[in-house]
């Protein structure tokens, strides 16, 4: 059954001057109502278009009913109070709706798919870096930039269920990547040279600066690794990956390992005034190269899974038991 | 983050709980829900139109409430009004939340923060 009734007050049974006053009062209320409704309707532009299209009539109707009620109960002071309340409500809810609209895009299969594809390419560049270190500079930049897509795809796959852990993982992953790119740029500008000998001589001239840059670089790797590991834990807890659920956690740990080995191999000698690149001994770099190749394989696997199963349903928990 | 009705860890926001409560004894339209919430809470909880329809939108998406196809008699009420009613999931949720609150009230009674039901201060 529908329960009928708006907030509209009926014309009271008055006579003479009282009725005239009531009518005058009502005319004034009608004028301020139509102005207020116009203003409120204009303010609704703050909401996302989709929300506005669906609820504009209802929002205006509720506003109109509230206005009439407040005006008849408390006069202009009620209207002012209503407007204050409406402004706060509109600001907060419009912001929320816009954030939610953005997050809906963030959790869409399209983001998972293209982020996964970026992850696959990132993996290829990681492998290239491990198997052909001479491609170093360009390969690492591409691996890192495309890896951002992979991180977003992994977070998106959690569809918001990763909670603060997933969000912290994504944030640390992005911070680590950006820091890594920035220090790479710093390293290249500080120690650039047309030949290997020239670069080496610059590093040997300023070992303290080189040590600082490499320290930040490997801290960035560790930060990225912690981010990926947190995303991995969130994926494990929420069971949002169709298979290989431990893979992101493993990749995060590999990233941390890469940061630690890099710190030992590059930072420690530099901080002691030695150049780790001179003499170049490939045997010293076996561990980071193996880790880099494994990371590449991990990204290729994870990216492929994310891209190919972007539309896969996430299993949900059972409904609560009927407490009736 | 979108919580689903089938998630047992779902926690209701105060606005969602009050709207579900207002719909517990039959379908209703937005403004009537708003008034009922204000009455239930002695005017302490005032839902704005944005909060009301933002919450309704999410509850519709989560399957806690549904829109009624029926429209009021145009002579009695505005036929553009949309009416909403509880779904089975919505009823379960509001019941579970009411029980949770009852448990809390019982704890508060046990700690003598509240008088026992039937007792006079």
Residue of B72 and A139 predicted with greater confidence? A139
Q: Edge-to-edge, what's the strand order for the sheet holding B83-86?
A: B28-29, B83-86, B65-67
Q: What is the DSSP string of A225-264?
A: HHHHHHHHHHHHHHT-SSS-TTHHHHHHHHHHHHHHHHII
* Residue given tokens 């609150």 in the structure block: B101
pLDDT for the residue numbered A303: 94
Chain A CB contacts of B57 below 8 Å: 51, 54-55
Contact assignment for A54 to B57 by CB distance below 8 Å: yes
Q: State the nearest Cα–Cα gap between B21 and chain A, in angstroms.
A: 15
Contact A4 B27 (CB under 8 A): no
Q: Evaluate whether ipTM surpasses 0.90.
A: no
For chain A, residues with pLDDT lower than 70 are 1-29, 133-136, 160, 193-196, 278-283, 313-324
The answer to whether the CB of A67 falls within 8 A of the CB of A36 is: yes
Average pLDDT over residues B37-60: 92
User: Which of A39, A47, A49, A55 to mutate to test binding with chain B, by most B CBs within 10 Å of its CB?
Assistant: A55
For B46, the closest chain A residue by CA position comes to A85
Q: Looking at residues B109-114, what average pLDDT do you find?
A: 89
In this model, does residue B114 exceed pLDDT 80?
yes
Q: Which helix (H) or strand (E) holds A275?
A: none
| Chain B residues inside the 8 Å CB shell of A6 | 31-32, 77-78
Report field, pTM of the whole predicted structure over 0.80: no
Tokens 């008055």 identify what position?
Answer: A14
**Closest C-alpha among A255, A249, A247, A187 to residue A221:** A255
Nearest one of B84, B51, B88, B47 to B96, comparing CA atoms: B88
How confident is the model at residue A194, as a pLDDT? 65
Domain boundaries, given as residue ranges, for chain A:
17-103, 107-308
Of A156-160, A294-298, B23-27, B85-89, the one with minimum mean pLDDT is A156-160
Closest-CA distance of chain A to residue B48, Å: 6
Rounded to the nearest angstrom, the minimum Cα separation between B121 and chain A is 32
Cα(A213)–Cα(A217) distance, integer angstroms: 6
B26 CB neighbours in chain A (<8 A) are: 1, 3
Query: Can you tell me the mean pLDDT for B8-28?
Result: 86
Q: What are chain B's domains? A: 14-90 (1.10.10.10)
Spatial separation of the C-alpha atoms in residues A213 and A207, rounded to whole Å: 10
Rounded Cα distance, A258 and A288, in Å = 6
Cα separation, A199 vs A212, whole angstroms: 16
Torsion angle of C-alpha atoms A138, A139, A140, A146, degrees rounded to 10: 110
The pLDDT tens digits for A57-103 are: 999 999 999 999 998 888 888 899 999 999 999 999 998 888 888 77
Asked if residues B62 and B88 have their Cβ atoms less than 8 Å apart, the reply is no
The reported pLDDT for the residue numbered A211 is 84
Say if the Cβ atoms of A1 and B26 lie within 8 Å: yes
């Amino acid at each position: 059954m529908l329960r009928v009734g708006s907030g509209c007050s009926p014309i009271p049974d008055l006579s003479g001057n009282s009725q005239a006053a009531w009518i005058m009062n009502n005319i004034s209320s009608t004028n301020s109502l139509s102005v207020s409704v116009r203003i409120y309707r204009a303010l609704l532009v703050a909401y996302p278009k989709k929300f506005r299209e669906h609820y504009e009539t209802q929002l205006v109707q509720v506003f109109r009913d509230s206005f009439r009620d407040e005006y008849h109960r408390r006069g202009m002071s009620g209207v002012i109070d209503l407007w204050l309340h409406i402004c706060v409500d509109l600001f907060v809810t419009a912001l929320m709706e816009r954030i939610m609209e953005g997050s809906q895009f963030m959790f869409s299969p399209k983001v998972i798919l293209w982020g996964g594809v970026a992850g696959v390419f990132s993996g290829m560049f990681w492998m290239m870096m491990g198997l052909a270190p001479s491609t170093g500079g360009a390969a690492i930049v591409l691996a890192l930039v495309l890896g951002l897509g992979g991180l977003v795809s992994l977070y998106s796959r959690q569809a918001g269920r990763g909670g603060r852990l997933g969000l912290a993982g994504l944030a640390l992953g992005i911070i680590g990547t950006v820091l890594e790119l920035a220090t790479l740029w710093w390293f290249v500008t500080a120690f650039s040279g047309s030949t290997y000998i020239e670069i080496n001589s610059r590093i040997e001239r300023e070992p303290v600066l080189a040590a600082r840059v490499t320290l930040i670089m490997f801290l960035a790797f560790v930060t990225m690794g912690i981010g990926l590991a947190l995303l991995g834990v969130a994926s494990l807890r929420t069971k949002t990956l169709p298979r290989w659920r431990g893979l992101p956690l493993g990749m995060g740990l590999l990233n941390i390992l890469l940061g630690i080995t890099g710190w030992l191999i590059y930072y420690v000698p530099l901080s002691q005034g030695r150049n780790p690149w001179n003499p170049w001994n490939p045997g010293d770099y076996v561990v980071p190269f193996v880790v880099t190749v494994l990371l590449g394989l991990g990204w290729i696997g994870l990216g492929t899974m994310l891209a190919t199963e972007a539309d896969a349903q996430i299993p949900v928990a059972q409904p609560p038991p009927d407490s009736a | 983050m979108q919580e689903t009705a089938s998630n047992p860890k779902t926690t209701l926001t105060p606005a969602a709980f009050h709207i579900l409560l207002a719909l517990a004894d039959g379908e209703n339209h937005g403004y009537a829900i708003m008034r009922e919430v204000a009455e239930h809470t002695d005017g302490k909880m005032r839902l704005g139109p944005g909060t009301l329809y933002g919450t309704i939108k999410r509850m519709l998406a989560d399957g806690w409430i549904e829109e009624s196809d029926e429209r009021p008699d145009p002579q009695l009420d505005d036929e553009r009004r949309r009416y909403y009613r509880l779904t089975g999931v919505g009823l379960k949720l509001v019941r579970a939340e009411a029980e949770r609150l009852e448990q809390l009230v019982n704890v508060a009674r046990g700690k003598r923060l509240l008088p026992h039901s039937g007792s006079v201060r």
